[in-house]
Amino acid sequence: MTTYLLRRLLLFVPTLWIIGSLTFVLVRLAPGGPFQSEREIPAAAKAQLMRDYGLDQPLGTQYVRFWRNALHFDFGPSYKYPGRQVREIIAEALPVSAELGGWALLLALLAGIPIGVIAAVRQNTRWDFAAMAIALAGVSVPNFVLGPLLVLLFSLTLYLLPPALWQSPASRILPVVTLATAYVAYVARLTRAGMLEVLRQDFIRTARAKGLAERLVIMKHALRLGILPVVSYVGPAAARILMGSVVVESIFEVPGLGRYLVNAAFNRDYTLVLGEVLFYASFLMLLNLLVDVAYSWFDPRVELA
Amino acid sequence: MSSASLTAMTGERLEGRPQSLWADAWKRMRRNRPAVASALFLLWMSGTAALAPWLPGMPDPTLQHLALGATAPSTVHWFGTDELGRDLFARVVFGGRISLLIGFVGTLVSLLAGVSYGAVAGYRGGRIDDAMMRFVDILYSLPYIFLVILLLVFFSRSILMLFVALGLVQWLTMARIVRGQVLSLKQQTFVEAARALGIGDAAIIFRHLVPNTLGPVIVYTTLTVPAIILQEAFLSFLGLGVQPPAASWGTLVAEGARVMALFPWMVAFPGLALSLTLFCFNFLGDGLRDALDPHDRRDVH
């Protein structure tokens, strides 16, 4: 176990190095710079800016300094939000994204698993077909179609919920539902497939044969193995969902990581872009590792090697 | 695919007259009504989109009637018109041309890259396989959507760049699937026979191994098309994809979403076309999976 963890953690190093370097190169190769604006900036002022941000140094020096600071979780000041550190922006946007994602994930599990279990237990009945048709629709309607439609219905027609921003609890409902729908659908499909697989196995027959109530067979015996595919899906999905969704955050003007990243790319806010990409990648890998560990806990047959 | 599916195959062979995998799959597929309906719908949709410029009575999607402005759906303009008085039905059909084209070409890119990469890794095995798959693992942990956004913002927003960016995202899973298949296939005697006949590695990989991986590859390909259409639409929604005057479904949805309080049909129809297409591709993919691979339904991506 310990060696396994160590090996996995060691693999983080080259992966992050490649991701960081790739982004670094990409950012420097890009035509146009962060201080290009419609208004002409005096040459002296521009040179001063470049010096302040260390952009007058040779590329190699910049690269080395970038990594040295990144190791201390310091990505420097943002180019576009003067006086603010990238670190601060991430620290401010992460909780927002995590809250949005956390609720969406919770909704996905609480709605998706029961739907999947019902569909599996009543395989090939109307319940099953209805559940799977709904799940497939949930996968097929993109969130940038669903979001505007929900706003149209609940905000602009029924005047029930606020159409955007992240303030009152009511303003969280539409973004969360929009983000969760596709995940609900996936979780339902995975649960169904996993449960069907498990319900066929001998130990389920044994459990039924010894007279266990069907409820207990399903809830206690089948579900624990049946949701394994969900576990392996939820990990990477959780990383994505917790880091926010670019689209949902854009539609609903939620000040999370996704919206900051898109804006940073458009603004060529290089330090913010680099910081966010690196942060996101590390977070993603860490969560994936946690998932694999969780997997072996759920299913003792899985050996970590 | 492992011993389980092998026993399943031999089990089926014992049941009656021998039947090829394809005949069997075709039989199962035909029984699946929703999947057949989806396939027919997609054929009709692709046909309409492909032939759109030559269809009689198809309005010009770029023709503006500024005096007309945005009008609700009517018998003249089935889907209504946009603020510039352009016929929305024609815009949706021509948008589908772009969306579907990107879906198909992007899938082709990922197919070529994924299949050859996976097949080579699986066939070579050993250290080469290790290194090649480790590389795929690393690429998997890249925050793709961010990198794609960066690529498109920083460089050109051309369709070519879009293909590269989208193809790059999608070939990884294909490579993994094909590698897994080839790993088990290469142990079989027909490969040994081919080698004994002195056939070269490249010919063994592409003439003997790859055709045998076709089942899972077809299933995954059917699911890749909607994934790429969706991502293109997503990028277009952010203003990074197809650039005006060209418009994909994503662009149309984005335009419609901006004015939906006033002209709700402008977001409804492109959104419907996009969702329906994705829905049918997913249904078809599910049906194909059940038909070609009835014993392995675990992976529902």
The count of C-alpha atoms lying within 13 angstroms of the C-alpha of B8, restricted to the half-sphere facing its C-beta, is: 11
CB contact under 8 A, A140 and B226: yes
Whether residue B301 is predicted with pLDDT greater than 50 in this model: the reply is no
Q: Return all residues near B1 (Cβ < 8 A) that are at least 6 apart.
A: B180, B181, B184, B216, B296
Q: Give me the residue from B151, B230, B300 closest to A190, CB to CB.
A: B300
> Is B230 part of the contact surface with chain A (CB cutoff 8 Å)?
yes
Q: What is the pLDDT of residue B3?
A: 46
Can you state the angle between helices B33-51 and B265-292, rounded to 10 degrees?
130
> Is B226 part of the contact surface with chain A (CB cutoff 8 Å)?
yes
> Is B300 part of the contact surface with chain A (CB cutoff 8 Å)?
yes
Whether residue B299 is predicted with pLDDT greater than 50 in this model: the reply is no
Q: Return all residues near A92 (Cβ < 8 A) that are at least 6 apart.
A: A255
The minimum CA-CA distance between A241 and chain B, rounded to whole Å, is 13
**Enclosing H/E stretch for B263:** none
Residue B45 lies in a domain: no
CB contact under 8 A, A280 and B147: no
Q: What is the pLDDT of residue A31?
A: 66
> Is A152 part of the contact surface with chain B (CB cutoff 8 Å)?
yes
**Which residues of chain A does B150 touch, with a Cβ-Cβ cutoff of 8 Å?**
23, 26-27, 30, 265, 273, 277
- Which residue from B minimizes the CA distance to A183? B301
Rg of chain B over Cα atoms, rounded to whole angstroms, equals 23
Residues 223-252 of A with CB under 8 A from B: 229, 246-247, 250-251
Cα B264 to the center of its chain, rounded Å: 29
Please count the structural domains in chain B: 1
Q: Which of A126, A149, A151, A197 to mutate to test the interface with B (most CBs of B within 10 A)?
A: A149
- Tell me the C-alpha distance between B267 and B249, whole Å: 10
- Which residue from A minimizes the CA distance to B135? A15
Whether residue B257 is predicted with pLDDT greater than 80 in this model: the reply is no
**Enclosing H/E stretch for B59:** none
CB contact under 8 A, B141 and A19: yes
The minimum CA-CA distance between B53 and chain A, rounded to whole Å, is 27
Q: Out of A181-195, B51-65, B193-207, B216-230, which region has the weakest mean confidence (pLDDT)?
A: B51-65
**Which residues of chain A does B142 touch, with a Cβ-Cβ cutoff of 8 Å?**
19, 22, 281
Over the stretch A184-221, which tens digit does the pLDDT of each residue have?
Answer: 888 888 888 888 877 777 888 888 888 877 777 777 77
Residue B15 lies in a domain: no
The CA angle A259-A260-A264, to the nearest 5 degrees, is 120
**Which residues of chain A does B254 touch, with a Cβ-Cβ cutoff of 8 Å?**
144
Residue B33 lies in a domain: no
Q: What are phi and psi of B281, to 5 degrees?
A: -60, -40
The dihedral formed by the CA atoms of B253, B258, B260 and B266, expressed in degrees to the nearest 10: -40
DSSP class of residue B70 equals: S
Residue B201 lies in a domain: yes
Residue B27 lies in a domain: no
Whether residue B95 is predicted with pLDDT greater than 80 in this model: the reply is yes
Q: What is the pLDDT of residue B17?
A: 60
Residue B211 lies in a domain: yes
- Tell me the C-alpha distance between A143 and A241, whole Å: 13
CB contact under 8 A, B275 and A284: no
CB–CB contacts below 8 A, A to B: 129
Q: What is the pLDDT of residue A50?
A: 73
Q: What are phi and psi of B247, to 5 degrees?
A: -145, 125
Over the stretch B130-172, which tens digit does the pLDDT of each residue have?
Answer: 888 888 877 776 767 777 777 777 766 677 777 777 777 788 8
Over the stretch A133-176, which tens digit does the pLDDT of each residue have?
Answer: 888 888 888 888 888 888 877 777 777 667 667 777 767 778 88
DSSP class of residue B24 equals: H
Residues listed for chain A: 305
- Concatenating the DSSP letter of every residue in chain A gives -HHHHHHHHHHHHHHHHHHHHHHHHHHHHSSS-TT--SSPPPHHHHHHHHHHTTTTS-HHHHHHHHHHHHHTT---B-SSSTT-BHHHHHHHHHHHHHHHHHHHHHHHHHHHHHHHHHHHHTTTSHHHHHHHHHHHHHHHS-HHHHHHHHIIIIIIIS--S-SS-S-STHHHHHHHHHHHHHHHHHHHHHHHHHHHHHHTSHHHHHHHHTT--HHHIIIIIIHHHHTHHHHHHHHHHHHHHHT--HHHHHHTT--SHHHHHHHHHHHT-HHHHHHHHHHHHHHHHHHHHHHHHHHHHH-TT----
Nearest one of A278, A193, A187 to A237, comparing CA atoms:
A187
Over the stretch B271-295, which tens digit does the pLDDT of each residue have?
Answer: 888 888 888 888 888 788 777 765 5
- Tell me the C-alpha distance between A143 and B257, whole Å: 12
B57 phi-psi bin (left φ>0, alpha ψ -120 to 50, beta other) = left
Residue B268 lies in a domain: yes
**Beta carbons of A264 and A210 less than 8 angstroms apart:** no
- Tell me the C-alpha distance between A143 and A148, whole Å: 9
> Is A195 part of the contact surface with chain B (CB cutoff 8 Å)?
no
Residue B213 lies in a domain: yes
- Tell me the C-alpha distance between B79 and B89, whole Å: 5
Q: What is the pLDDT of residue A38?
A: 56
**Beta carbons of A104 and A96 less than 8 angstroms apart:** no
**Which residues of chain B does A196 touch, with a Cβ-Cβ cutoff of 8 Å?**
297
Give the three-state DSSP class for B148. helix
Q: Tell me, what CATH number does B154's domain have?
A: 1.10.3720.10
The minimum CA-CA distance between B109 and chain A, rounded to whole Å, is 22
> In this prediction, what percent of chain B has a pLDDT beyond 70?
83
DSSP class of residue B81 equals: B
Low-confidence residues in chain A, pLDDT < 50: 305
The minimum CA-CA distance between B68 and chain A, rounded to whole Å, is 24
Tell me what the pLDDT averaged over chain B comes to: 78
> Is A285 part of the contact surface with chain B (CB cutoff 8 Å)?
yes
Q: Give me the residue from B143, B230, B238 closest to A250, CB to CB.
A: B238
Nearest one of A106, A113, A149, A105 to A131, comparing CA atoms:
A113
- Tell me the C-alpha distance between B28 and B21, whole Å: 11
Query: What is the extent of the structural domain holding B251?
Result: 101-301
Model pTM above 0.90: no
